[in-house]
Every structure is written in structure tokens, then in C-alpha cells.
Structure 1
Amino acid sequence: MGIYLPGEGLRHDLIWASGEQLRAFFAADVIAENLPIWLEDSVVEGAIADPPTEAMDMVSALELNEDWAPEIIRRAYGKVDLEMRAAVGAAGEAALAELLLQSGANAVEQISAFDDGAGFDLCVYVDNAEYHLEVKSTSKMRSLKIFLSRNEYEVSTRDPSWRLVTVGLDDTMQVAALATIDQAMVRSHVPLDAPPVGRWASSQLLLSNSHLTRGLHLGHIDIQGTSSDVWWA
């Protein structure tokens, strides 16, 4: 026994949800599937604070109190964000690995394919040197939001071969934009622990061009994205 939601299938954990909650979950799933522009990273907070007409119309059609609108938008955004991050992340790593090999890397190993605790995604061999790349991929030009885990951060502080790289993917999932993220800036913006009770596990960073160095430089390799457009302004 369970509850069926579009895009999620049978959900056994929602059996005890109220009718109002189920209608709200349904609304969020419908919004997530339609992917309106106001679910973009750079504007979603504004949509939560002042729900768009589309969201309010759905709330009204499902006979929900208008107070549900912000929560519906948050849920829709969370669902889209998780699904897109997983798919785009894998595509970005693969596209960057291929580009590195085409540009003269001796070898590229996708560590994330078999070890999610290494603290980086790609191990790249260039000119008898080894580089460890943590790859943050996106298909969004207007904003750059990344998530850095505690483990990734701690590896960055003790591994001189570690690099934080962002990949912008075009519609064909090829590398349109490529940049290296300033590690000193990242270290100055991660949260502070509050021992003995508080310890951060993941940090969200919203970045712009001022935090980036265009391209990726590893030994004799110097590669850029294919797009001449300005990403992440």
C-alpha cells in the first residue's frame, strides 16, 4: 500500500499524510516537472517570498490555503535541484575527462565511479604529475551554485594536487565553459564549527566570475570551454 506521485512512483512513506499535504506534494511535483524559470537558483528565493501567479493558481485549483505556496515552491526546487545535480554532475565529469584526453593528458581516471569518499572526482596524469580534480558541473549560465562536502573541503586542505573546477555544459552536454575556483576564497567562506555540539557537513556557495579563473591549467595543458558567451556573471 502506498501513495503514487507523478515522477516519484509509489511512495509508502506518505500513507499517513493528510489530504491537504498530498495535494501540496502533488502540486510541487507538477511544478518540478514543468521547470518554470522561477525555479532557477538566482531567483527561487524571490519566488518563495512572493509566489508567482502560476504557483498561486495551482494552490487555488487544488483548494489549498495560499500559505502552502512557499512550501510547495521549496519542495519543487529541492526535487529539481537534486535530480539535475546528479545527472549534470555525471555528464560534466565525463565531458571534462574526454576533453583532457583530447588535449594531451596521459591518462584520466574517474575516481567518483567507484569511490565517493576520495574527496575528488577525476585523477589526471599530465607530464609525470598527478592532479586531483573536484568537478562541479552545471547547465545554468546565469548563476553558479555549488555544494562542497566536509570531506571534499578537508581533502583540499591537505592535498596540494587538489583543484576545484567548474564545468558549464551546453545542450549537447559538451564543455561550453570551464573555470578554476579560487580555493582561498572557498576556505574563507565555509561555515565555522561550534564544538562540541555543531559541526558542518556540507556547504552551499553561490559564486560569480570574480571567484573564478577562466580555463584549466595542468602542466602543459591549457584548455578552455567552447563558448564565447559570458557564463556566471
Structure 2
Amino acid sequence: MPVPPDPVLRAAARWLERLPASGAARLRALFTAHSEFSDITPIQYEAAYAWIQDTGLLDNLHSEVPARRRVFDSAIAHSSAPWLPDADLLVRTLDELPEDALRAAASLGLSEVEAFGQLSAVWGKVDTQERSRIGAAGELALVGLLEVSTNARVEHVAAWSDGFGYDIAVHAAQHSAHLEAKSTTRRGRLAVYLSRNEYETMRRDPEWELVAIRLASSLEPEAVATIPKEWIAAQAPADGGAHGRWESCRLDVPPDVPVPGIPRVAEALTGKASALLNGAAGWPG
């Protein structure tokens, strides 16, 4: 949904400020009859109430976060703005704040500095939730592809523990593979979040591979590729001293780095193997 009009945003903040102490019926009467609130129409108040209900803001009326900040966060998070998934790259300075975010901030009395900080927090929350959803779908998709395309035994080890340093174990007659799956639905960008445990597992386990899965919006797999371990090792950060240690990092993978398919499981592929696993489908950048 788009960012609501300014009067609806201001009305939403008024609802949230007063609902903890008054019922909705009493507030409707107040907003309709009192001249202090006549700058917003009854229809706009009702639209605002429906919006805060739809976005879940009514579920925590006693939050300590100021109402106007909660309204701004929800307006951005539920806006489906095309820039939001890549806000970490697109909005790096105050001058790059999108018009819809600036408008929402101004209507709620937030400064550009406040809006920038709130937007960063919103992006982080939305990105984390989306990565979790896409990541789970990608793991299951890769498990399914391996089960129907190989004669190997496939174990989804991440389903019972996240301590292995990889998600899927493939046990074939000649060799095994330990696959760490990273998924995306984005075109033109592949951002991989790597934990220290995954990185250390890569360094000591010759069977470890980082596999990228590109999913369609329907979460069906479209492409599969392997990220070379040498490239990962060259990009990973280094600990700066005896008392500092990185625990996770983000790797932005250029489109020419992924190797289509999973070469390590090539010997286990059957005659009806998916083109995604043998590399025939390629890896669209």
C-alpha cells in the first residue's frame, strides 16, 4: 500500500496518542465534535483507524515509542516502496531521502535527521524479516532440487541445528558436499550475509560450498550458482587486533563471480537432473 495522505498520518498519530486512555467510540465523538480536531474530517479519522488496525499498530497501544514515530515506521514498512529493499544503498545521506519518506516525516513533525534514522531502522527490520523468509524458502527449494536430481542422500541439517556452519549435507557414493544456502529474489544484486561460524567452517571443511539460489516472486527456484571459496576468503574482513573479532559480514557479490550450478555435486546428478544444478540454466546477473 502507498504511504497514506498527510491528514490520515496525523489522524493515526492522534488515535495512538489517545487510545490507551479512551475507547474508540469516545474518541470518535471527540474528533467529530471538538473544534481542536476539526482540521481532519471524520472520513479521514476513520481511514486512519482502519489503517492502524491493518498495519498492527493497535496491537501494542502502550508502547513507549512516541506515536508519531510508530506511525512513520509503519507508513514506510507497509508502503511497498520500490526503493525500500535497497535503501541501504539508495539512501545513504539526508539528500537521498525519498519524497514519500520526506512527506510522511513533515506531516508528523519529524526532522530530516529523525526521518533518516527511523528509515534506517525500518529498513533493517524489514530486511531481516525478508531475508529470513527468502532464506527458508531457498533452503527448501535447494533440498527439493537435490532430492529429485541426484542419487545422493540429502539431509537438511539446518532444520534441527544451526551449529553445523552449513545448511544441507549431500552424501554421494564418491564424495559428500556441505552446502551453505543463500537466497535472493532480487535482480542485479546478490548480497550474502556470512556468519563467522560459516566462514570458519569453510576454511577447515573441504566439502563446504556456498550456494546461491535465485527465487522468483512465487519463491520457485530460477537459478543456482556456487560462490568460489577463494573469492569469499579474499573479501572477508580481518580481525583488527587481539581484542576485536568480527562475527558476521555482508558480501556484495558481483554478477560475474557466481559459477552456475553446483560442480561439487555433478557426479551425483542423474540423467533427469535439473538444469539449475548442472549449470545449464546459467546465472542471470
Using structure 2 for the length normalisation, give the TM-score: 0.71
- Return the alpha-carbon distance in structure 1 between the equivalents of residues 124 and 170 of structure 2: 33
Greater mean alpha carbon deviation, residues 193-202 or residues 217-226: 217-226
- Return the alpha-carbon distance in structure 2 between the equivalents of residues 164 and 228 of structure 1: 18
Answering whether residue 89 of structure 2 is matched by residue 39 of structure 1, we say no
Name the structure 2 match of 1:185.
231
Amino-acid identity (%): 31
1:184-223 maps to which residues of 2 (within 5 A)? 184-217=230-263, 218-220=265-267, 221=269, 223=274
Name the structure 1 match of 2:173.
127
- Return the alpha-carbon distance in structure 1 between the equivalents of residues 183 and 233 of structure 2: 20
Name the structure 2 match of 1:176.
222
Greater mean alpha carbon deviation, residues 154-163 or residues 120-129: 120-129
CA spacing shift, 1:101–1:44, aligned 2, 3 Å: same
Name the structure 1 match of 2:112.
66
Give the match's secondary structure for 1:209.
coil
Greater mean alpha carbon deviation, residues 138-147 or residues 121-130: 121-130
Answering whether residue 90 of structure 2 is matched by residue 90 of structure 1, we say no
Q: Which amino acid aligns with 1:46?
A: L
Please report the RMSD computed on the Cα atoms of aligned residues, expressed in angstroms: 2.5
Give the match's secondary structure for 2:233.
helix
Give the alignment partner of residue 100 of structure 1, picking from 146, 168, 179: 146
- Return the alpha-carbon distance in structure 2 between the equivalents of residues 162 and 209 of structure 1: 21
Instruction: Please list the CA deviations of residues 57-96 of structure 1 after superposition, one character each: whole Å capped at 9, or x if unmatched.
Output: 1001111112222112211211111111111111101011
Answering whether residue 71 of structure 2 is matched by residue 26 of structure 1, we say yes
Give the match's secondary structure for 1:225.
helix
Greater fraction helix: 2
Deviation at 1:192, TM superposition (A): 1.0
Deviation at 1:223, TM superposition (A): 4.7
Give the alignment partner of residue 200 of structure 2, picking from 143, 154, 173: 154
CA spacing shift, 1:74–1:230, aligned 2, 3 Å: same
- Return the alpha-carbon distance in structure 2 between the equivalents of residues 96 and 156 of structure 1: 19
Return 5+ residue gaps in structure 1 as ranges.
Answer: none
Using structure 1 for the length normalisation, give the TM-score: 0.86
Larger radius of gyration: 2
Give the alignment partner of residue 225 of structure 1, picking from 273, 276, 280: 276
Greater mean alpha carbon deviation, residues 157-166 or residues 206-215: 206-215
Return 5+ residue gaps in structure 2 as ranges.
Answer: 1-19, 21-51
Q: Which amino acid aligns with 1:40?
A: P
Greater mean alpha carbon deviation, residues 85-94 or residues 45-54: 45-54
Q: Which amino acid aligns with 2:107?
A: A
- Return the alpha-carbon distance in structure 2 between the equivalents of residues 215 and 229 of structure 1: 7
Q: Is the 8 A contact 2:168 2:179 kept in 1?
A: yes
Q: Is the 8 A contact 1:167 1:178 kept in 2?
A: yes
Greater fraction strand: 1
Deviation at 1:163, TM superposition (A): 0.5
Instruction: Please list the CA deviations of residues 158-208 of structure 1 after superposition, one character each: whole Å capped at 9, or x if unmatched.
Output: 101100000001122121011100111111111111222210000111112
Deviation at 1:129, TM superposition (A): 2.1
- Return the alpha-carbon distance in structure 1 between the equivalents of residues 251 and 178 of structure 2: 20
Greater mean alpha carbon deviation, residues 138-147 or residues 29-38: 29-38
Deviation at 1:24, TM superposition (A): 2.5
- Return the alpha-carbon distance in structure 1 between the equivalents of residues 254 and 157 of structure 2: 28
Name the structure 1 match of 2:15.
none
Deviation at 1:25, TM superposition (A): 3.7
Deviation at 1:34, TM superposition (A): 2.0
